[in-house]
């Protein structure tokens, strides 16, 4: 699965991992400094309610399944097949029939079958009709109805479609009234659609029959064998699927628009709602999909297992994308555009397609036994997805993007108070997503990348191939994977596994070297760890030595003079290979980013980086130096004003598209800190803001017309215009009174401009919203309009929207509430945050009790008040101390908000504008 972006926070993160805000455009440079991106999963409400064991029930009467219960069940049950029937009308409910065939090792005790909130019409166990012992979560089959050996259970039921993005979700298109269904099961929501053993280690085959309205298409893991007309409906029959874990099976149905492409190795289709069918460019979907299938077939040495490749773009999707076998789902909000895709959007599309495709082998073909293995699933898909994007598509710089975005999120999170080891126990299915975050996805992926360097790419691949072959259509655990790699490498990986997977924290390295007469005389790599997480690790990195060329022209260009691979361990590692080489002007100890480690530049290298940033030719090194500068500012070692001096002097010279986005993200973060500092920084802010606007505007005008660069500058200007001069330009662009040659203002741009005008209450912002809704009546227009209203800097307005999301009777659906939460408070709105801070904290515990985890993740991640003052830090510290009863997810958000607030105060304490 791919968790999508928290777009409010992800200016520089192409592929960040959180999903909280709503709109999807390039104009997501907004980076709020007081909120770290985080996945803050709340244990569901159900998990807090523990009722008694009933006498006849072998498990607690709760919605979730514990690992222990799952294990007991899979020890008894095997060889499972499902025959599934559905009658779909487009109305709010649906009828289903599930027939389960399975072997049972003993009939000595009852057995449970999961089925969530259905009305059971009949239950047949081994041919005998019985009264269902059913508690709305699972059916308990009495032992005297069960047989040792083969059993058959048939359940007829009726159920409401879900509206929470899990189970069989129903969406009504507000433009044309058409109804669309899609399923989402991960981690354990198949039981919201049919009756089953809902746990990953009970793989099964699925045979599906569906009655659906005549203009609908039904999509599942296999291609249909027949469609038969009956009255106003069609009967769809599908062949038996291969063996899959329940969460990898899926069914989607509705009058979807479809495109097909049979020119590649496997038939491919793309589906989307009819009313927004112009918002995708199917040729790119097919291009990247075909490239990926070819790449993975070859890399894994096992042909794609599922015969056809469908991709369905669905509304209201709560994550980014999901790897359902042969029927992958994608979130509309992240993968539709109102104009031709930019380079960023194409790259994002390619890399998410690759991520989900990697799962078809690693995840769907070979699956974890239990949810503690989810991280490996996601880490591997993130790693392989990036590798495939780099090697099979036009985005050969995919690893640089990974460094600038995903890896930075992982470094940040690994330095927070809430970090955790990559592998952690997961006691119940309700905790499956508790630790799904930048550690799971991006640190895990970086760790696999490091392991590939350590073992060598051929050995690594051999290990992966052996693993996938040995466990095809089965379940496996971490030790099976590591064991396959260790065997291929012919070395033990026990210590490696312990250092990397069972201990949290990021190490730092620095180069300590001396020169005499222009030659290196000593060179030591020093490794350090934080005191809370003292583990030192073994890593293979590349040390890059750089010097100025002595060109006759006098142009000072950096040149790589040496790249030296080194395996280091412990506190100090002497690097003998460099003794006697020319004294470098700059040393970078993780050249080309092999390692997962923070690089501390030595003072000489840091000075060189500051002075000569745009003289560096190598875009990857330049990206790392930009990052080092920002890290220094964010750690309080470099004044924000010094950082902005260097950044603004160099940003216009940045000729690499990805690095440009990354450096714009750093600038945005610095500006957000300044806004949070209030009076202390207001004079400086007044000087630097017009300078920034004019650099962005000039570059938007002067870059090559119609280029991706021009668009990046233009969108950055839209997101950063705040002075009356800048905002007037935006208004005039919207009105058509001025235009920029090469930029056509599309629907997404119009909303971005309107958002910015409302954020600073400029001109008649509200009237622009109302007018725009007349021409953009669809679901995405509604969400963008809501965001633009919520961001308005007005106390009454904030109270209104806050009530809309806190109120249990609010009619605003969650996807719209998410738009509100993502834009309710921005960094210049400290006073407004203060005005509702007590209200938000007072209501937090009650909401935590009454709302589901998806809602609370967004709520706590966006709205915990932190305004960069001593008082605000203290308020959070006291609140945390006094509220120990909160769910883990909310606690984690509080701890992060507190830590970030402290950081902001620390940076503020060091601020001076000279």
- Residues that bind Zn ion in the complex, under the rule CB under 5 A: 1, 378, 381
Report the C-alpha gap between 439 and 100 in whole angstroms.
38
Instruction: Compare residues 19 and 104 and give the one whose CB is closer to Zn ion.
Output: 19
* 1 vs 486, beta carbon nearer Zn ion: 1
CA angle 170, 889, 633 (to 5 degrees): 110
- Choice between 378 and 434, CB closer to Zn ion: 378
Residue nearer to Zn ion on the CB measure, 2 or 462:
2
**Sheet hosting strand 133-134, strand order edge to edge:** 111-114, 138-141, 133-134
How near is the Cβ of 380 to Zn ion at its closest, in Å? 9
Residue 867: CB minimum distance to Zn ion, A: 36
Min CB(382)–Zn ion separation in Å: 7
Cα dihedral 714→720→725→729 (10° resolution): 30
CB atoms within 10 A of CB 515: 15
CB of 450 to Zn ion, least distance (A): 20
Tell how many helices (H) and how many strands (E) occur in the chain: 29, 29
Q: How near is the Cβ of 68 to Zn ion at its closest, in Å?
A: 26
Sign of the CA dihedral running 468, 473, 479, 483: negative
Nearer Cβ to Zn ion (326/886): 326
What are the Cα distances from residue 551, in Å, to 180, 524, 582, 763? 65, 30, 17, 55
Give the nearer residue to Zn ion in terms of CB position, either 1 or 905.
1
Residues paired with residue 897 on neighbouring β-strands, in sequence order: none
> In angstroms, what is the minimal distance from the CB of 442 to Zn ion?
12
Cα–Cα distances in angstroms (integers) from residue 731 to residues 653, 697, 717, 823, in the given order: 28, 14, 13, 20
C-beta of 381 vs 896, nearer to Zn ion: 381
Radius of gyration of the chain (CA): 28
Whole-number minimum distance, CB 370 to Zn ion, in Å? Answer: 17
Q: Helix, strand or coil for residue 779?
A: helix
What is the smallest separation between the CB atom of 886 and Zn ion, expressed in angstroms? 28
End-to-end, the C-alpha distance of the chain in Å comes to 48
Q: 868, 850 in Cβ contact below 8 A?
A: no
**Is the Cβ of residue 113 or residue 352 nearer to Zn ion in the bound state?**
352
The partner residues of 103 in beta bridges, in order of sequence, read: 78, 150
In this structure, the strands spanning 268-272 and 257-261 are antiparallel
Q: Which residue, 157 or 185, is less far from Zn ion as judged by CB?
A: 185
We find the least distance from the C-beta atom of residue 368 to Zn ion, in angstroms, to be 12
Choice between 475 and 608, CB closer to Zn ion: 475
* Closer residue to Zn ion in complex, CB, 286/441: 441
Secondary structure element (H or E) that encloses residue 599, with its range? strand 598-600
- Distances, alpha carbon 34 to alpha carbons 812, 827, 872, 873, in Å: 27, 7, 11, 11
Find tokens 């490996």 and name the residue. 376
For Zn ion, the closer of residues 381 and 601 by Cβ is 381
Bridge partners (DSSP) of residue 129 are 124
CB of 759 to Zn ion, least distance (A): 34
Q: Using the minimum distance from each CB to Zn ion, give the nearer residue, 37 or 631.
A: 37
Taking the least distance from each CB to Zn ion, the nearer of 3 and 633 is: 3
| Helix ranges restricted to H, 635-656 | 640-651
Q: Name residue 80's beta-bridge partners.
A: 204
| Closer of 1 and 422 to Zn ion (Cβ) | 1
Least Å distance between CB 21 and Zn ion? 20
What element of type H or E holds 727?
helix 724-735
Q: In angstroms, what CA-CA distances link 213 with 235, 275, 329?
A: 9, 18, 22
In the three-class reduction of DSSP (H, G, I as helix; E, B as strand; rest coil), residue 841 is classed as helix
Give the residue with the Cβ less far from Zn ion, 17 or 190: 17
**CB of 394 vs Zn ion, minimal distance in Å:** 23
Nearer to Zn ion among residue 1 and residue 907 (C-beta): 1
Q: Minimum CB separation from Zn ion for residue 114, in Å?
A: 23
Which residues neighbour 258 within 8 Å (Cβ) at sequence distance 6 or greater? 217, 269, 270, 271
Min separation Cβ 359 and Zn ion, Å: 5
Question: What 3-state DSSP class applies to 384?
Answer: helix
Q: Which helix (H) or strand (E) holds 101?
A: strand 93-104
CB of 355 to Zn ion, least distance (A): 6
User: Residue 281 CB, nearest distance to Zn ion (Å)?
Assistant: 24
The stretches of 301-402 forming alpha helices (DSSP H) are 332-335, 343-361, 374-392, 398-402
Tell me how far apart the alpha carbons of residues 691 and 648 are, in angstroms, rounded to a whole number: 8
Range 781-796 burial, b when 16+ CB lie within 10 A, else e? bbbbbbbbbbbbbeee
Least distance in angstroms from the C-beta of 363 to Zn ion: 7
Taking the complex as a whole, the smallest distance from the CB of residue 236 to Zn ion amounts, in Å, to 28
3-state helix, strand, coil in the chain (%, to 5): 45, 20, 35
- For residue 724, the 8-state DSSP code is H
Q: Which CB atom, from 383 or from 568, has the smaller least distance to Zn ion?
A: 383
* Nearest of 858, 857, 866 to residue 889 by alpha carbon: 857
C-alpha torsion angle, residues 485, 488, 490, 496 (rounded to 10): -10
The span from the CA of 12 to the CA of 873, in Å, is 27
């Amino acid at each position: 699965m791919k968790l999508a972006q928290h777009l409010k926070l992800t200016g520089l993160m192409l592929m960040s991992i959180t999903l909280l805000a709503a709109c999807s455009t390039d104009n997501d440079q907004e980076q709020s400094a007081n909120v770290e991106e985080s996945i803050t999963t709340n244990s569901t409400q159900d998990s807090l309610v523990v009722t008694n064991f009933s006498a006849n029930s072998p498990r607690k009467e709760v919605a979730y399944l514990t690992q222990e219960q799952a294990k007991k069940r899979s020890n008894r049950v095997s060889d499972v097949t499902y025959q599934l029937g559905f009658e779909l009308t487009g109305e709010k409910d649906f009828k289903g029939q599930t027939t389960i065939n399975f072997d049972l090792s003993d009939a000595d005790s009852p057995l449970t079958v999961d089925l969530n909130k259905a009305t059971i019409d009949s239950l047949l166990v081994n041919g005998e009709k019985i009264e269902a012992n059913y508690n709305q979560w699972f059916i308990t089959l009495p032992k005297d109805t069960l047989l040792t050996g083969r059993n058959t259970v048939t359940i007829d039921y009726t159920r409401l479609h879900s509206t929470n993005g899990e189970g069989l979700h129903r969406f009504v298109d507000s433009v044309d009234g058409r109804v669309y269904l899609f399923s989402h099961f991960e981690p354990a929501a198949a039981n919201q659609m049919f009756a089953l053993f809902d746990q990953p280690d009970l793989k099964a085959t699925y045979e599906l029959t569906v009655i659906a309205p005549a203009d609908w298409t039904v999509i599942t893991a296999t291609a249909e064998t027949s469609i038969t007309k009956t009255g106003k409906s069609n009967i769809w029959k599908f062949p038996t699927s291969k063996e899959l874990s329940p969460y990898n099976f899926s069914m989607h149905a509705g009058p979807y628009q479809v495109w097909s492409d049979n020119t590649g190795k496997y038939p491919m289709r793309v589906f989307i709602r009819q009313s927004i069918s112009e918002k995708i460019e199917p040729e790119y979907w097919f291009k990247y999909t075909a490239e990926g299938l070819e790449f993975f077939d070859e890399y894994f040495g096992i042909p794609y297992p599922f015969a056809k490749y469908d991709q369905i773009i669905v509304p209201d999707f709560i994550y980014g994308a999901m790897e359902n076998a042969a029927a992958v789902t994608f979130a509309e909000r992240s993968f539709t555009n109102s104009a031709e895709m930019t380079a960023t959007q194409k790259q994002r599309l390619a890399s998410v397609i690759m991520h989900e495709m990697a799962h078809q082998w690693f995840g769907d073909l070979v699956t974890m036994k239990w949810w503690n293995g989810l991280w490996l699933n996601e880490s591997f898909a993130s790693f392989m997805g990036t590798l495939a994007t780099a090697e099979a598509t036009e985005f050969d710089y995919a690893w640089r993007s990974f460094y600038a975005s995903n890896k930075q999120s992982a470094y940040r999170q690994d330095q927070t108070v809430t970090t955790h080891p990559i592998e952690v126990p997961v006691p119940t299915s309700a905790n499956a997503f508790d630790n799904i975050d930048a550690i799971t996805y991006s640190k895990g992926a970086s760790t696999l990348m490091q392991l590939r360097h350590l073992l060598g790419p051929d050995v690594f691949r051999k290990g992966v191939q052996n693993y996938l072959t040995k466990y095809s259509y089965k379940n496996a655990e971490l030790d099976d994977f590591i064991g396959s790699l260790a065997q291929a490498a012919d070395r033990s990986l026990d210590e490696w596994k312990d250092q990397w997977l069972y201990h949290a924290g990021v190490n730092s390295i620095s180069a300590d070297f001396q020169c005499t007469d222009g030659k290196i005389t000593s060179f030591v790599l020093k490794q350090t760890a934080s005191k809370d997480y003292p583990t030192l690790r073994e890593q293979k990195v590349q040390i890059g030595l750089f010097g100025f060329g002595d060109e006759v022209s006098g142009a000072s260009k950096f040149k790589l003079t040496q790249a030296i691979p080194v395996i280091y361990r412990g506190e100090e590692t002497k690097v003998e290979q460099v003794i006697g080489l020319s004294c470098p002007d700059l040393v970078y100890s993780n050249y080309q980013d092999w390692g997962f480690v923070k690089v501390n530049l030595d003072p000489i290298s840091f000075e060189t980086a500051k002075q000569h940033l745009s003289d560096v030719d190598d875009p990857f090194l330049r990206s790392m130096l930009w990052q080092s500068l920002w890290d220094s500012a964010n750690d309080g070692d470099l004044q924000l004003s010094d950082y902005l001096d260097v950044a603004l002097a160099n940003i216009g010279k940045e000729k690499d598209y990805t690095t440009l986005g990354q450096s714009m993200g750093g600038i945005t973060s610095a500006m957000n800190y300044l806004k949070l500092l209030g009076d202390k920084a207001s004079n400086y802010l007044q000087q630097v803001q017009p300078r920034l606007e004019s650099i962005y505007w000039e570059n938007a005008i002067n870059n090559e017309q119609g280029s991706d660069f021009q668009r990046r500058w233009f969108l950055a200007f839209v997101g950063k215009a705040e002075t009356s001069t800048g905002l007037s330009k935006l208004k005039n662009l919207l009105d058509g009174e001025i235009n920029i040659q090469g930029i056509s203002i599309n629907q997404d741009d119009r909303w971005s401009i309107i958002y910015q005008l409302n954020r600073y209450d400029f001109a008649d912002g509200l009237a622009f919203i109302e007018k725009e809704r007349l021409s953009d009546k669809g679901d995405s227009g509604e969400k963008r309009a809501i965001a633009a209203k919520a961001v308005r800097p007005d106390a009454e307005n904030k109270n209104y929207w806050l009530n809309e999301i806190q109120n249990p009777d609010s009619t605003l659906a969650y996807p719209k509430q998410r738009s509100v939460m993502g834009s309710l408070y921005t960094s210049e709105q400290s006073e407004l945050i203060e005005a509702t801070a007590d209200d938000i904290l007072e209501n937090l515990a009650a909401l935590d009790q009454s709302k589901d985890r998806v809602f609370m993740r967004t709520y706590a991640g966006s709205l915990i008040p932190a305004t960069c003052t001593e008082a605000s830090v203290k308020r959070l510290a006291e609140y945390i101390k006094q509220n120990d009863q909160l769910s883990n997810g909310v606690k984690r958000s509080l701890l992060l908000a507190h830590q970030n607030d402290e950081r902001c105060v620390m940076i503020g304490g060091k601020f001076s504008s000279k």
